[in-house]
């Protein structure tokens, strides 16, 4: 028997008109969860498929799906692939295993990576694009486009977002939190045997879950989450929002809450961030009072501030487990 703490929710993001809800800040608050399955989280190095961006197409790490036992190894593999480069992580997830989310978050923080709530839509290489096929086959680089609208980072996904050097949540992306649910899991082992004329030899085994019983989540679980947030520099105001939201519901953070808790440092999405990265630097032009060939400073805007969003969300998402 093993007890695990599980962040359980489902995720559904619908237009307010579809549900008959008002579209506005109130729609981003707590809503009841309903189960929704999600494939295991995959990590890919992605190069922008935006037409005309070559040879300066931006690249990023796409992280999509349910955080599970193999997710940490997959993230380490893509980190080795990028070497010393500091590429943003574009994440879209219903959540998953809590310990694995902590581990991925700490790896991202140690690497100094930005985390952005945006999904990636993958595209196929054109038949005649030899360079694209080479990157996919030899360098394992996928082709894709960032898509911000209705992207989400729910439940234990918020732990990975919290670890970003910068934490970017655009106006059409959503971050949800709730309490942890704990369960006793009763497994049994099923053996596969090779039978001969004289004996029977075990060949393999697999664990089958016979029964899952919900139990009370111990305080030490929340203490550990609080220490993790403190380690990542997240404000104390986030834990009350988690504790106030039952495990079968999700609290979608408002722009004000994202800013106040520090869970979002910039009101930017993946499309906006990568569009900036893809803009080629213009050749410096001498002005009337400057000698040709001398350098000029480049102007640039400051970080965007978290502002009100008119988008509404209805909620549900994830399966997350603490060992």
Render pLDDT for 280-316 as a digit per residue (tens, 0 to 9): 444 445 444 443 333 333 333 333 333 332 223 333 3
Higher pLDDT, 33 or 212: 212
pLDDT at 198: 81
Query: What are residue 303's DSSP bridge partners?
Result: none
pLDDT at 9 over 60: no
- Report pLDDT for 33: 53
CATH of 2-180+217-279+312-322, one of 3.90.226.10, 1.10.1040.10, 3.40.50.720, 3.30.465.10: 3.90.226.10
Residue 256 predicted with pLDDT over 90: yes
Structure-block tokens of residue 286: 């001498």
pLDDT score of 88 = 97
**Residue 3 or residue 150, greater confidence:** 150
Q: How far apart are CA 76 and CA 256, in angstroms?
A: 33
CA–CA gap between residue 218 and residue 182 (Å, rounded): 8
Measured in degrees and rounded to the nearest 5, phi and psi for residue 102 equal -60, -45
Distance CA 266, CA 306 (A): 6
Mean pLDDT highest for which of 4-8, 124-128, 208-212? Answer: 124-128
Residues 49-66, mean pLDDT to the nearest whole number: 92
* Mean pLDDT of the 144-169 span: 96
Q: Which residue has the tokens 């970017």?
A: 168
Q: Residue 249: which H helix or E strand, with range?
A: strand 249-252
Strand partners, 282: none
> Percent of the chain, pLDDT > 70?
74
pLDDT at 264: 97
| Burial of 106 from C-beta contacts in 10 A (0-12 / 13-18 / 19+) | middle
Q: Dig out the tokens for 92 from the structure.
A: 């879209």
Please tell me the distance from the alpha carbon of residue 9 to that of residue 260, in angstroms, as a whole number.
24
Bond from prior residue into 291 cis (ω within 30 degrees of 0): no
Helix pair 71-82, 98-111: axis angle to 10 deg: 10
Yes or no: say if 183 and 252 are a contact pair by the CB < 8 Å rule.
Answer: no
Out of 77-91, 180-194, 205-219, 309-323, the most confident range is 77-91
Quick one: average pLDDT of 87-91?
A: 98
Q: Give the pLDDT of residue 36.
A: 57
Q: Quote the percentage of the chain above a pLDDT of 90.
A: 50
What are the sequence ranges of the domains in the chain?
A: 2-180+217-279+312-322, 186-215
Give every CB contact of residue 58 below 8 A, 6+ residues apart in sequence: 47, 48, 274, 277, 278
* pLDDT the model gives residue 60: 97
Write down the pLDDT at residue 61: 98
Tell me: pLDDT of 90 over 60: yes
Average pLDDT value for residue range 104-126: 95
CA distance 185 to 211: 6
pLDDT at residue number 233: 95
In this structure, the dihedral spanned by the alpha carbons of residues 256, 262, 265 and 267, taken in order and rounded to 10 degrees, is -20
- Which string of DSSP letters, residue by residue, matches 282-304? PPP---TTS-TT---PPP---PP
* 3-class secondary structure, 73: helix
| Weakest-pLDDT range from 115-119, 138-142, 191-195, 292-296 | 292-296
Regarding predicted confidence, which is higher, 226 or 138?
226
């Amino acid at each position: 028997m093993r007890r695990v703490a599980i962040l359980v929710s489902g995720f559904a993001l619908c237009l307010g008109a579809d549900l008959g809800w008002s579209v506005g800040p109130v729609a981003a608050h707590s809503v009841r969860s309903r189960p929704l399955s999600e494939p295991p989280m995959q990590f890919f190095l992605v190069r922008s498929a935006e037409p005309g961006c070559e040879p300066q197409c931006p690249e990023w790490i796409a992280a999509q799906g349910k955080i599970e036992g193999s997710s940490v190894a997959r993230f380490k593999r893509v980190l080795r692939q990028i070497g010393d480069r500091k590429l943003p992580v574009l994440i879209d997830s219903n959540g998953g295993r809590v310990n694995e989310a902590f581990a991925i978050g700490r790896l991202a923080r140690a690497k100094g990576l930005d985390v952005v709530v945006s999904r990636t839509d993958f595209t196929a290489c054109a038949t005649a694009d030899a360079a694209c096929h080479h990157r996919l086959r030899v360098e394992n680089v996928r082709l894709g486009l960032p898509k911000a609208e209705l992207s989400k980072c729910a439940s234990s996904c918020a732990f990975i977002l919290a670890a970003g050097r910068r934490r970017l949540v655009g106006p059409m992306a959503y971050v949800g939190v709730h309490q942890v649910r704990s369960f006793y899991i009763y497994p049994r082992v099923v053996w596969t045997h090779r039978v001969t004329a004289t004996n029977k030899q075990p060949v393999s085994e697999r664990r089958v879950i016979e029964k899952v019983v919900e139990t009370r989540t111990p305080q030490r679980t929340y203490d550990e989450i609080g220490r993790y947030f403190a380690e990542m520099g997240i404000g104390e105001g986030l834990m009350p929002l988690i504790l106030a939201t039952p495990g079968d519901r999700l609290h979608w953070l408002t722009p004000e809450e994202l800013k106040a808790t520090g869970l979002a440092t910039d009101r930017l999405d993946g499309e906006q961030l990568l569009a900036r990265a893809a803009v080629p630097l213009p050749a410096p032009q001498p002005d009337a009072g400057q000698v040709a060939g001398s350098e000029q400073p480049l102007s640039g805007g400051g970080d965007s501030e978290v502002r009100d969003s008119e988008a509404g969300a209805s909620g549900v998402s994830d399966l997350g487990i603490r060992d």
